[in-house]
Amino acid sequence: MITAYLWRNRRFLVLILLISMLIYPSVSWAVTTDEQNNIDVYRKAAPAVVNITSTVVQRDFFYGVVPRSGSGSGVIIDSKGYILTNNHVIENAQRIEVTLSNGNKWPGNLVGTDSYNDLAVIRIDAPSEQLQILSLGSSQDLQVGQKVIAIGNPFGLQQTLTTGIISSLGRTIHTEQGEEMEDLIQTDAAINPGNSGGPLLDSDGKVIGINTAIFSLSGGSVGIGFAIPVDTVKRISSELIEKGYVSHPWIGATLFPLQPWLAEELNLKAEWGVMIGDVVRNGPADRAGLRGANKLLRVGNVALPIGGDVIVAFEGETVESTEGLVRMIRKNRPGDRVELKILRDNRFMEVPVVLGERPLNQ
């Protein structure tokens, strides 16, 4: 019965098919809806993704000058030629070369870097008609399970697309340089060496993150990659373009964790907190009257600075680790006035501190 119906109405069905093909000429009728979305996003975004080659001059065993090259990815964000990438892609580079999707190569000029968030902005003087711009979306309402697409140049293989999902949000990792990066997007989209600095995209082709790192024992993708949320990227990149660096809040003191065994050893009223070691002269902590350590306690082969103030709360929030305190400080801006609860001479007291701007060499 169905076959007879289709046969009788075959002309009408063919007409509907032809009209659909005219209305949706870009749709390939041999692929699924999800595959077509991948194709559309790639066509839209790939021209805005560039390959970045950086050359670093090093010394060999005989102190000869040896240039070494590394590569990564970047994304064009405006018609003036500004390009977002990772700091580690261009760090210490003597020469930067940018290859556009059309194969044209341009020298890259460093605009600014922020090692704490592994971001950098470079610029090329290419004609605006050669620059395909990719719009920055938002990372505010991302959901675990959401589809994502990564485009980059893994192992120098340009314009490579991989897909996956958001595996988790709010991840914290430690970089090889010892920096703590927070609030990262975790994804299982394949990210390999060379993908660094490339965009992580949503289904609409908007940038929701900049790929920055992977967790891997082999050096290749094992399905655990990380991207910097685009809301962080937008805030930092605007500062980098404006002044070449990012202003980070700074308390001006070296910090050490206080743990229960040490608190018991020192007979302190607080079990957890952060001990102040050295105080930078004329820094924020010094101007607030905070005191640093005045003696050393030797524990095995380690000498611990003790006798200084112990920070036990920041703006009313309990401080339990050095990393936790640094995280709290980072939520503020230079010039902000914050309240610390400290333990001094085994007595609790409140101390206001005006945060400074972290020196570039700190």
- Using one digit for the tens of pLDDT, what is the confidence trace for 103-127? 999 999 999 999 889 999 999 999 9
Domain assignment of residue 125, given as a range = 46-130
- Return the CATH number at 190: 2.40.10.10
For residue 362, the model assigns a pLDDT of: 62
The answer to whether residue 158 is domain-embedded is yes
Residues 216 and 272 in one domain: no
Q: Tell me the pLDDT tens digit for each residue of 245-261.
A: 999 999 999 998 998 99
| Domain assignment present for 327 | yes
Q: Pick from 130, 157, 185: which residue ends a domain?
A: 130
- pLDDT confidence of residue 65: 39
331 assigned to some structural domain: yes
Residue 107 lies in a domain: yes
Residues 254 and 214 in one domain: no
Residue 240 lies in a domain: no
**Domain identity same for 273 and 341:** yes
Whether 8 is in a domain gets the answer no
The question of whether 118 is a catalytic residue gets the answer yes
DSSP structure string for 88-124: HHHTT-SEEEEE-TTS-EEE-EEEEEETTTTEEEEE-
Burial class (CB in 10 A: 0-12, 13-18, 19+), 65: exposed
Active site residue 88: yes
- Closest CA relative to residue 165, chosen from 215, 221, 225, 206: 225
* Cβ-based burial of 34 (10 A; exposed 0-12, middle 13-18, buried ≥19): exposed
Distance in angstroms (rounded) separating the CA atoms of residues 254 and 251: 9
What DSSP character marks residue 4? H
- Which of 231, 263, 280 marks a domain boundary? 231
Q: From the candidates 196, 221, 248, 309, give the one annotated as an active-site residue.
A: 196
Token representation of residue 267: 């007979």
Residue 336 has a pLDDT of: 95
Indicate whether 171 belongs to any domain.
yes
All residues at 6 or more sequence positions from 345 whose CB lies less than 8 Å from its CB, including other chains:
none
Same-domain pairing of 262 and 343? yes
Q: Are residues 218 and 183 in the same domain?
A: yes
Quick check: is 121 in a domain?
yes
157-201: pLDDT as tens digits:
888 999 999 999 988 887 666 667 888 999 999 888 888 899 999
- The H or E element spanning position 41 is helix 33-45
Whether residue 343 is found in the same domain as residue 258 = yes
| Beta-bridge partners for 180 | 174
End-to-end Cα spacing for the chain: 80
Q: Is 0.95 surpassed by the pTM of this model?
A: no
Give the tens place of pLDDT for each residue, 1-52.
Answer: 545 554 455 566 556 656 666 666 655 557 889 999 999 999 999 999 999 9
Active site residue 196: yes
Digit-coded pLDDT (tens) for 226-239: 999 999 999 999 99
Residue 269's CATH number: 2.30.42.10
Whole-Å CA distances, 135 to 81, 200, 205, 323: 14, 12, 8, 34
Active-site residue, from 54, 71, 73, 88: 88
Residue in this structure with the two tokens 């309990």, named with its chain if needed: 318
Spatial distance between the Cα atoms of 342 and 275, rounded to a whole number of angstroms: 9
What is the Cα–Cα distance from 187 to 169, expressed in whole angstroms? 9
Which candidate in 54, 71, 118, 139 is catalytic?
118
Structural domain total, the chain? 3
**Residue that terminates a domain, selected from 97, 130, 163:** 130
